Structure 1
Amino acid sequence: MSERTSGTGQCDVSLAPVRVGDEFEQELLEVSALLASTMVRRRDRLHRDARVCVIDVPHIAVEAAARLVTDAVTRVDVVLAAEHGYSRAVYQALTERLSADGGDRLAVRLLCTPSTLDWRFVTAYAAEPRVETRVARIPALAAVIADDEQALVCADSAAGRRASATGSVGVIRPLRALFDGVWRNAVVVADRIDFGDRTRTEIAQQILERLRAGVTDEVAARELAISVRTYRRYVAEIMSLLGATSRFQAGVRAAELGLLLARSPGSRR
């Protein structure tokens, strides 16, 4: 598996294209465009409407997102599918908020992409039912919804990448509904998937590659120099670890979690 880990524990994983949740991605793009166009139309009236604020300065947008997390009282829903600078700030704010007084009353739902998933954060809160993390393939978007009362969205628009902060129920409600839809179909991340020792991890990755490629059990077992029975036992164990009910679902979840090996030129497709 090709993986680069930054000093913050974030993992950059090379993934092959997997067409999962296209309908939700399209919905997300449509809502992002709607939000952006709404903010642009209202920009000239912002001095009369304090419920919506366009933020053009990147570091101010990052600070605003972190502040929403810090000020949240009962729940916060977060989408991290943007640049790592934004993600790092939000992860730090989440960690500080969960460690502060009253943090045990805060429910957190964190929706990431494979590249913005921070395993240190996942591991630290794996035993906390109030903190849930899922992974999905979603467009470049960052968002924070705090207590269903305040939200900040950073997305691409016709006017360029910009952030919009709002307390408007008319904007927050569809954003929350969209989050819920993507969340239901995202891959649950309970903790780092552990296949055992290094040898078993390498075998598991090779098996996952063959599941993705649709190789038959007999061919895959021959390529890995193991018996078909052993290969099928490995497959069953991998499916159990991934919480998958089918081989296809195991392949999808492995891709979303960044467990597949990087493809090299001329590799099997």
Structure 2
Amino acid sequence: MPEYRRILLDGAAVQVTVEGHELVAGDGRRVKTDEAHHLPPVLPSKVIAVHLNHRSRVDEFQIGLPGTPTYFHKPTSALNSHKGAVVRPEGCKWLNYEGEVAIVIGKAARNISQAEAGEYIAGYTIANDYGLHDFRDTDAGSMLRVKGSDTLCPLGPGLVTDWDFRGKYLRTYVNGEVVQDGSTDEMEWDMHYLVADIARTITLCPGDVLLSGTPANSRPVQPGDVVEVEVEGLGRLSNHIVTGPTPIRTDVGAQPTESEEVLSTALGGDWEFRGIRPPKRG
């Protein structure tokens, strides 16, 4: 399956192809994969994410799925890349990983059927849909700050074409330990459904990204942690967590909270009834 990446090569953003352990530019320049400075593999005009799709995640929260998907928007300023630093702002505690498959649009899509949707998909990449749940009580349910803060949308490492999304495993690791273990087969709505659904009223442009949902066991991570998402056939996306250098301003806006809603979401549903306690903070 062809895989394309974007890297910073001699000061310029360049698309490269993967050949073994090397990345090859169109002009023949080569760089070792482990030494490359990766960029997001695509430049979307928008990133749209489904709230709930994996049945294990629904079961974890002991809720029912709606009859059709619901979505939220992550601004493109949240984009990040393979090996990029994910910033947890000073004063925030509840930054959660969410390993996902990302759908990348290949040509403009509007008012298409589910059967036609595959023709409009350029390929797939891996995403980690980080959530800063300290702001869960704000923004009237839009999740703008929860999911849209800077660096919270790593994509990569590359765009893989001709990938069949059916029956593929999805795993997330924190410091080498498996923390999420799911499959694309547990999705209630598949990739073609999601594309056709959004394209009913929103034109999807080449490069646009749809995030397809995460399995159970999204949990908080700490500065210093290394978080990796592995999807069968798409590779492994790696990021590390750092603390932002300045605290959240207190002279404007809603402040981080630790309400029941925040803790329940960050720690996986009915945390207080399962003997789960918030992690200790240094």
TM above 0.5, one fold?
A: no
Which bracket does the TM-score occupy, shorter chain normalised? under 0.3
Higher helix share: 1
Higher strand share: 2
Of the two, which has the highest radius of gyration?
1
Normalised by the length of structure 2, the TM-score is 0.21
Structure 1 length-normalised TM: 0.21
